A and B are shown apart, each in its own frame.
Chain A
Amino acid sequence: MSFNSVAEFFAMGGHGLYVWLCYGVTLLALVLSFVLPGMRRRQLIREQAQRLRREEAGL
């Protein structure tokens, strides 16, 4: 391990702001790009199921 304490790890030798900003934004982007398609899928299934029900009731 290249750090002696937790504080040293978060400080990143004075570059903490830069390192954590990068990792934070990347984590946010990765989580969003994984979660959004899942939500879109549920929305699509819901809309299409509704449309199918309407069609069946209307015909």
Chain B
Amino acid sequence: MKVWFYRLGSPKWFYEISERWLPWLAWSSLLLIAVGTVWGLLFAPADYQQGNSFRIMYIHVPAAFLAQSCYMMMAVAAVISLVWKMKLCDLVIVAAAPLGAAFTFLALFTGAVWGKPTWGTWWVWDARLTAMLILLFLYFGVIALQHAIQDKVASARATAVLILVGVVNIPIIKYSVDWWNTLHQPASFKLTEKPAMPAEMWLPLLVMVLGFYCFFAAVLFMRTRNEILDRERRTQWVRELVKKVSSR
């Protein structure tokens, strides 16, 4: 167990294992997103109230899922980083923050564009929307903090603390639609209930969500590998790897 945990924290081990996973993740995300997009845009029936603008859901919902999942993953990494000082977790956080910001931006942007024909406005200070905007600023804060502190160890610790403080925002996002009855509709999907829409509408959404998760994992792996290459450049194994790759 201890050996396993030690290996898991080793950047070299992650670099090697992620190399094997990357093509699978990348290709399955491409396949799933392609299938989901064609299915959602062409074959899913138009909504009886919203017409075709509801097709924005197929990117809005996965992007919003990822925006929050990415933050939760960073929070788990932050705990491990603070308690066990695992270097790999710091690298994962550095790699994940801009990606999480990108998905949060996408969720907000597609939400605004969807809101225009549906609610008649791009933006309202609705509880869900405001909480998502705070999430975006949290990601910006994490990125800024990483760049503000030169010392890597101090930077990782400060970032981890900021991430853990910001976790309070995640349940607020989730329950905002139930606590404050404003504009954003409650969740259409719950694990315990049947979805409130026909299968030909939610199946493409499921495919898109899976595709976005695979995409996130693939890009996170690529970015973490870059961080490892940069941070571990003085180690023997990275030197040998650079020599091997650059001579090709």
Contact = CB atoms under 8 A, between A and B. Distances in A.
A38 B219 CA distance: 10
Contacts of A1: 42-43
Interface in B48-85: 51-53, 55-56, 59-60, 63
Nearest to B242: A48
Contacts, number: 97
Contacts of A3: 42
Contacts of B225: 41
Contact of A19 (B55, B109, B245): B55
Interface residues of A, number: 31
Given A37-B226, A44-B226, A45-B229, A9 B245 contact: no
B110 interface: yes
B223 A2 contact: no
Interface in B24-55: 26, 33, 37, 41-46, 51-53, 55
Interface stretch (B113-121, B143-151, B160-168, B176-184): B113-121
Nearest to A50: B246
Contacts of B114: 18, 22
Interface residue tally on B, bucketed by range: 35 or more
Interface in A5-58: 9, 12-16, 18-19, 21-23, 25-26, 29-30, 33-34, 37-38, 40-41, 44-46, 48-49, 51-52
B51 A15 contact: yes
B58 to A, nearest CB: 9
B239 interface: yes
Given A1-B42, A29-B105, 9 more contacts: A13-B52, A18-B53, A19-B52, A22-B113, A40-B226, A41-B222, A41-B226, A45-B229, A45-B242
Interface of B: 26, 33, 37, 41-46, 51-53, 55-56, 59-60, 63, 99, 102, 105-106, 109-110, 113-114, 116-117, 215, 218-219, 222-223, 225-226, 229-230, 233, 238-239, 242-243, 245-246
